[in-house]
Amino acid sequence: SRNIRLAVIPGDGIGVEVVTEGLKVLEAVGTKVETTTYDLGAKRYHETGETLPDPLLDELRGYDAILLGAVGDPSVPPGILERDLLLKLRFQLDHYVNLRPVKLFPGVETPLGKARPEDIDMIVVREGTEGPYAGAGGVMRRGTPHEIATQESLNTAYGVERVVRYAFEKAVARPRKKLTLVHKTNVLTYAGDLWARTFDRISVEYPEVQTDYCHVDAASMFFVSQPERFDVIVTDNLFGDILTDIGAAIAGGIGLAASGNVNPDRTAPSMFEPVHGSAPDIAGQGKADPTATILSVAMLLDHLGLADEAARVEQAVADDLLERLAGWAGRTTQEIGDDITARVAG
Ligand code: NAD
Ligand code: IPM
Ligand code: MN
């Protein structure tokens, strides 16, 4: 089989710990992988002032995919690593789809007492290159009682159309064929109108897809009260960020939530990472659950056309999660990684 060229960015905090386990599992799959690790993150920033130098960004373009742990550290002011490293990667590599499955595996405990795996099985298609993340902003009279801070949301017809189209394609390929647009059209009237019109226009091309609209506040409520309402969701960058942390919570916790920053046109490598952050509160203690990263590795394999290998990894995780129910809780990061690796290796 072919050789995967993979760039690895462990990043900060638990990012390093969980990526170690993700790579172990990837190796056990048996596909030839050539990895190159990049020391981007807080340490490099302190030592050199660099977040993501342009020559390095160009080098990253040459890989088949990127695996990232997490970035962000209490010693670095908020936004520097998040915007100039992580978001720069998502924007520059045109990751306009941020794919975030919300899926309850059998045997996993959910705070929604009676929810069954068939009730929590959705995919959030979060826009990845626009919205409030990409808009202009500014501040006047900073530090005075008259300070004014603005933070705009950027929404283009081109950007909205391509992510909505992707979501329809996802929905039509699933058994339920249901797509929900989540926005806040009752308040964000300019952006919401563009999203709603685009959604309605494209829906005509997909008569098999059942469409629905939900304001983001109501959607947040339905995530915890009636998650079975949702199959595929398409939404703005910021709404998708918030909703998928709720999604993680209902599907067994942030330690299980995987994601892919996908460039569907394949003009640059896609990047796979857990939904969670660097978790400074538990970093270095072997307490982080590496499962989210391992499931992100499965998404990576799937993206590279290795569907069988991806399915093997996902099955190994599902088997491991069932055993946790049977009293395997409290294992370390490495123990969970070892166990899933052994299952993948068969
Ligand atoms: P976080 O996701 O790092 O942590 C939130 C809570 O979840 C913490 O209590 C943490 O211990 C727990 N948690 C997270 N991952 C876990 C895992 N794998 N296993 C067990 N518990 C886990 O979010 P935060 O605390 O808001 O942010 C911390 C830093 O991470 C910040 O600098 C933030 O900007 C950054 N961040 C980065 C990413 C990313 O790189 N994609 C995502 C979110 C936050
Ligand atoms: C995530 C994170 C990032 C986001 C931050 C760290 C920029 O919260 O991946 O969910 O908001 O997208
Ligand atoms: Mn987030």
Whole-number Å distance, alpha carbon 13 to ligand 2 midpoint, is 15
- 90: tokens are 């998502």
pLDDT of residue 327: 62
pLDDT of residue 1: 54
Note if 54 is an active site residue.
no
- Burial of 117 by CB count in 10 Å (0-12 exposed, 13-18 middle, 19+ buried)? middle
Q: Which of 45, 133, 289, 302 is catalytic?
A: 133
Note if 265 is an active site residue.
no
- The reported pTM is 0.98
Please work out whether the CB of residue 283 comes within 6 Å of at least one atom of ligand 2: no
Q: Which CATH architecture group holds 110-251?
A: 3-Layer(aba) Sandwich (3.40)
**Helices then strands, each counted (H, E), the chain:** 12, 12
The SS3 call for residue 24 is helix
Note if 245 is an active site residue.
yes
Please work out whether the CB of residue 277 comes within 6 Å of at least one atom of ligand 1: yes
Task: Tell me if domain 1-98+259-346 and domain 110-251 are identical in fold.
Answer: yes
Note if 241 is an active site residue.
yes
pLDDT of residue 323: 86
Whole-number Å distance, alpha carbon 345 to ligand 3 midpoint, is 32
CA 316 to each of CA 17, 148, 253: distance values in angstroms, whole numbers, following the listed order = 19, 52, 18
Residue nearest to atom 30 of ligand 1 (CA): 277
Which helix (H) or strand (E) segment holds residue 220: the answer is helix 216-225
Whole-number Å distance, alpha carbon 326 to ligand 3 midpoint, is 31
Please work out whether the CB of residue 289 comes within 6 Å of at least one atom of ligand 2: no
Residue pLDDT tens, the chain, 346 long:
569 999 999 999 999 999 999 999 999 999 999 999 999 999 999 999 999 999 999 999 999 999 999 999 999 999 999 999 999 999 999 999 999 999 999 999 999 988 999 999 999 999 999 999 999 999 999 999 999 999 999 999 999 999 999 999 999 999 999 999 999 999 999 999 999 999 999 999 999 999 999 999 999 999 999 999 999 999 999 999 999 999 999 999 999 999 999 999 999 999 999 999 999 999 999 999 999 999 999 999 999 999 999 999 999 999 999 988 666 567 899 999 999 999 999 8
Residue nearest to atom 4 of ligand 1 (CA): 279
Please work out whether the CB of residue 241 comes within 6 Å of at least one atom of ligand 2: yes
pLDDT of residue 80: 98
Q: Which of 39, 193, 245, 281 is catalytic?
A: 245
Strand partners, 148: 140
Angle at 50 between CA 45 and CA 52, to 5 degrees: 115
Please work out whether the CB of residue 338 comes within 6 Å of at least one atom of ligand 2: no
Which of the listed residues 12, 76, 254 should we mutate to test ligand 1's pocket, taking the one with most ligand atoms within 8 A of CB?
254
Q: Which CATH architecture group holds 1-98+259-346?
A: 3-Layer(aba) Sandwich (3.40)
- Provide the 8-state DSSP code for 251: T
Q: Quick one: which atom of ligand 1 is closest to the CA of 274?
A: 41
Domain ranges within the chain, ordered by starting residue: 1-98+259-346, 110-251
pLDDT of residue 113: 86
Note if 213 is an active site residue.
no
